[in-house]
Structure 1
Amino acid sequence: MKHTLVCTILFCYSIVVSVAKDIPSTKIKVQAPFGVRTIKVPDFSRSKEFKITDFGAVSGNKASISQAIAKAIDHANKTGGGVVVVPPGEWLTGKVHLKSNVNLHLSKDAVLLFSEDPADYLPAVPSTWEGMECYNYSPLIYAYKCKNVAITGEGKIKAQMDVWKTWFTRPKAHMESIKRLYNLAQAYAPVTERQMVNDTAHLRPQFVQFNRCENVLIEGITITNSPFWTIHPYLSNNVVIRKVNVYAHGHNNDGVDPEMSQNVLIEDCIFDQGDDAIAIKSGRNPEGWRLKTPSKNVIIRNCTVKNGHQLIALGSELSGGIENVFVDNCTVLDGAKLNHLLFIKTNERMGGYVKNIHFTNITSGKIDLGIVGIETDVLYQWRTLVPTVVRRLTPIQDIYLENVKATNVKFISRIIGQKELPVKNVSLRNVKAESVTEKQHIHENAVGLKLE
């Protein structure tokens, strides 16, 4: 079948997709304080199904399953799109690389179990590590420059963790490797020169990464465990994540990390995390400055958090900027281990900006720290690992919280701006806790505050 080359310009980068014909898409209209957003998602309702068992998958045989999934995906892509079906049962596999116009569908009682052998995620692919682009182990499920791609169904995807757990620690060799990557990014070295698969780096891959993709849907599935960030839409446009149940309690196990992505809807999901439930990011230092693509028009609604560091974190990688975020009608269950409901974190190296953040109708039990925290000197291990090469502060402004309540907190708000660039225009309306054990409001270098 003759293929056509379709070049779509998306934000400040290009996506090149080779397909026979795009499948249909549907439009979701979402009302937000920054206007009605229209998000496209692929529609596979009339697409042909391709069972992996028809392509040679044999239960218990990792090689046959990995090859069958790849063949089915390739066939669906080349024949105009389709649904690759994983039937009931446990299916051990290596990496899964999606292609345009393909829906990976997990049937009820299906478990796609991912190998813990790092060799199964080679060769290295274009990916990221904490906001810096590099070549690294492939994410377990990976889509690169794809259009109309989905993961759906009532089944499960699960990562085996014994090997990845040994990579959680950050020994000297690992720290030297991320220092090398930082310096390469700081020097604007080509990404092809940032090869991070070696004996010392041990940069764990994301579980699911959509890298430079358009029209993405994840719906219905359960995700258990993750080597690193769990769901990572990166430089992608039109992303819907709904009715997804995530349980991941390893190191850096955020639930969803939209990074330099736009028109994102996350709804009706359950998060039980070892890190932030949802962390919105936009690149670290020169990476965000180089790619010039903010995370923008992100809507999060009707989600439940069982555990996590934050309900919503913005940063600390935010050098490309974050704007137009709407979080509404979310619940943090009593007994969850949480630091903040909303935490905005940056430092003197990030630059970027944060603006127009709306946080409404949120309920929570006890919070270890407070409802909202804004800090401008969060550097973690980078403080002593590498010096500040370029100093760029982060303007933070127009943060609106309304109808937010918790039971027990240390503080309602803690806002620590910088003297030369105060945090501006933070509004708290009907933001309350039943018990405040330390101080209601802790503010330094903040102007235009409204407390109602």
Structure 2
Amino acid sequence: MPRQVTLLIVLLLICGFGCTQRHEPVSLQQIQVEAPFEMPPISYPDFSKTEKLNIVDFGADPKDQKATSNAISEAISKANSLGGGTVIIPPGEWPTGKIHFKSHVNLHLEKGATLLFSGNPEDYLPAVQSTWEGMECFNYSPLIYAFECENIAITGEGELKAQMDIWEVWFARPDAHMQALKKLYTMASEGVPVQERQMVGDEANFRPQFIQFNRSKNILLEGVTITNSPFWVIHPFLSKDIVIRDVKVFAHGHNNDGVDPEMSQNILIEDCVFDQGDDAIAVKSGRNQDAWRLNTPTKNLVIRNSLVKNGHQLLAIGSELSGGVENVFMENCTVEEGAKLNHLLFIKTNERRGGNVSNIYLKNIKSGRIDLGILGIETDVLYQWRDLVPTYERRLTPIKNIYLENVKAGNVEFVSRILADPELPVENIQLSNVQYDSLRGEKLIHENVVNFKMD
């Protein structure tokens, strides 16, 4: 063999082993977040060195929902088999049905990419293990669903968008829906196994969450825009180590909370924009007997540097809080002037919930006019459930250690309204440098409060 040919073969072999891009499994990063309580470091996945898998290479077609759904599913399976991979959604509008995650996968939407989710409920069957307002059941799959996954992410500058034609019809609560609520409540209260709580059909019309991370860990949600939602928008449930960063939510349908952390722990939400028809951040921990069974508090949650354009509350806690809520810190957040808002902080529960609420901190918060007030705490909030179903077991909710510091609001109805049960007063409320431009009603409206301080 001529010397030149031998040298060429050697060079090709060297390049083959040394010049190709090296793909590695997903790795973990940690972020340490400062808070007025002991906050463990949060682990989240890093996909920067994983293989990129473009859905077009798996048969995605912008004019074919089934082909695109299948391509996304196949790319997710491939990324999982590699021990880590990034599924690329390229620019364009891509119709899809449900997306089910597997571990070690990043769903990355490039700038200009839109995943357009079907509005046909049949595309979210078969039913999966999910929840409805704090009770476990089998229901339509969330549009994006992760069950018992680890090291997962949704990233990029693209958009996740729900088509709403049928979901909007389901916003109404006809008698069949109310009877389904009653049925699920009764099953949960009586300890019927979750597998037997099949809630699809009979016009129950239990709308699915847009994104649910169920029993998962090491989660990153970063950069994307989320438009419209059948129900709650982002729902971490029984999950831990979660970073939600630079996400923009626009959803003005019924029950369209921005983020609902439920029985989940070690969470950072930062640099987000919330524009929705319900609460911006709604912290929950399950309902009644179901939550007592699961016995997992929502704990160690930090929300910072975010903007709310519309919402019922800036920060709501409850009313599903039976597993307990503790160690929540919100700082440097702003409610846009002209936004419709009821409270900056609203804690709500009732005699059926039990659980507990403690160590809740708001610091450096700005807002314009508020329809109601800065702080609201009520312990008899039952909504439509008051006459629909009975109290199976009465458990009051201890609420204590609530701190608001450096808060500035515009025109308010009241500064603080606390309506607690005489059997279990609310304890230890501290308002420091809480200011408002003008007051429409009574400044402090308190029933059954111990150790309230305002300076």
Q: What is the TM-score when the length of structure 2 is the normalising length?
A: 0.94
Match of residue 323 from structure 2 = 320
8 Å Cα contact 2:301/2:327 also seen in 1: yes
Partner residue of 1:181 out of 153, 165, 184:
184
Partner secondary structure for residue 448 of structure 1: strand
Tell me how far apart the structure 1 counterparts of residues 160 and 154 of structure 2 sit (CA, whole Å).
10
Amino acid at match of 1:445: N
Counting only pairs closer than 5 Å after superposition, residues 226-241 of structure 1 correspond to structure 2 as 226-241=229-244
Partner residue of 2:168 out of 165, 168, 179:
165
State the shift of 1:288 in Å: 1.1
Partner secondary structure for residue 74 of structure 1: helix
Amino acid at match of 2:88: V
Match of residue 34 from structure 1 = 37
Q: Deviations over 1:146-167 (max 9, x none)?
A: 0000000000000001100000
Tell me how far apart the structure 1 counterparts of residues 29 and 220 of structure 2 sit (CA, whole Å).
11
2:274 counterpart of 1:256: no
Structure number with greater Rg is 2
Counting only pairs closer than 5 Å after superposition, residues 202-241 of structure 1 correspond to structure 2 as 202-241=205-244
Higher strand share: 1
Amino acid at match of 2:328: V
8 Å Cα contact 1:31/1:37 also seen in 2: no
Instruction: Please list every run of 5 or more consecutive structure 1 residues that lacks an aligned counterpart in the other structure.
Output: 1-20
Indicate the percent of aligned positions where both proteins have the same amino acid.
Answer: 65
Match of residue 276 from structure 2 = 273
Tell me how far apart the structure 1 counterparts of residues 304 and 62 of structure 2 sit (CA, whole Å).
38
Amino acid at match of 1:424: E
State the shift of 1:70 in Å: 0.3
Partner secondary structure for residue 282 of structure 2: strand
Counting only pairs closer than 5 Å after superposition, residues 13-412 of structure 1 correspond to structure 2 as 23-412=26-415
Q: Deviations over 1:13-46 (max 9, x none)?
A: xxxxxxxx96210000001000243000000010
8 Å Cα contact 2:39/2:300 also seen in 1: no
State how many pairs are aligned: 432
Runs of 4+ in 1 over 6 A off after TM superposition: none
8 Å Cα contact 1:44/1:103 also seen in 2: yes
Tell me how far apart the structure 2 counterparts of residues 36 and 375 of structure 1 sit (CA, whole Å).
28
8 Å Cα contact 1:299/1:326 also seen in 2: yes
Tell me how far apart the structure 2 counterparts of residues 58 and 214 of structure 1 sit (CA, whole Å).
32
Tell me how far apart the structure 2 counterparts of residues 435 and 223 of structure 1 sit (CA, whole Å).
35
Amino acid at match of 1:135: F
State the shift of 1:389 in Å: 1.0
Partner residue of 1:446 out of 442, 446, 449:
449
Tell me how far apart the structure 1 counterparts of residues 433 and 271 of structure 2 sit (CA, whole Å).
24
Amino acid at match of 1:175: M
Tell me how far apart the structure 2 counterparts of residues 75 and 398 of structure 1 sit (CA, whole Å).
48
Tell me how far apart the structure 1 counterparts of residues 174 and 62 of structure 2 sit (CA, whole Å).
38
Tell me how far apart the structure 1 counterparts of residues 383 and 81 of structure 2 sit (CA, whole Å).
46
Tell me how far apart the structure 1 counterparts of residues 41 and 136 of structure 2 sit (CA, whole Å).
29
State the shift of 1:432 in Å: 1.3
Match of residue 16 from structure 2 = none
Q: Deviations over 1:364-384 (max 9, x none)?
A: 000000001000000001001
Tell me how far apart the structure 1 counterparts of residues 39 and 183 of structure 2 sit (CA, whole Å).
43
8 Å Cα contact 2:25/2:82 also seen in 1: no
Partner secondary structure for residue 404 of structure 1: strand
Cα RMSD for the two superposed structures: 0.8
8 Å Cα contact 1:338/1:368 also seen in 2: yes
Tell me how far apart the structure 1 counterparts of residues 363 and 137 of structure 2 sit (CA, whole Å).
37
Amino acid at match of 1:422: P
State the shift of 1:48 in Å: 0.5
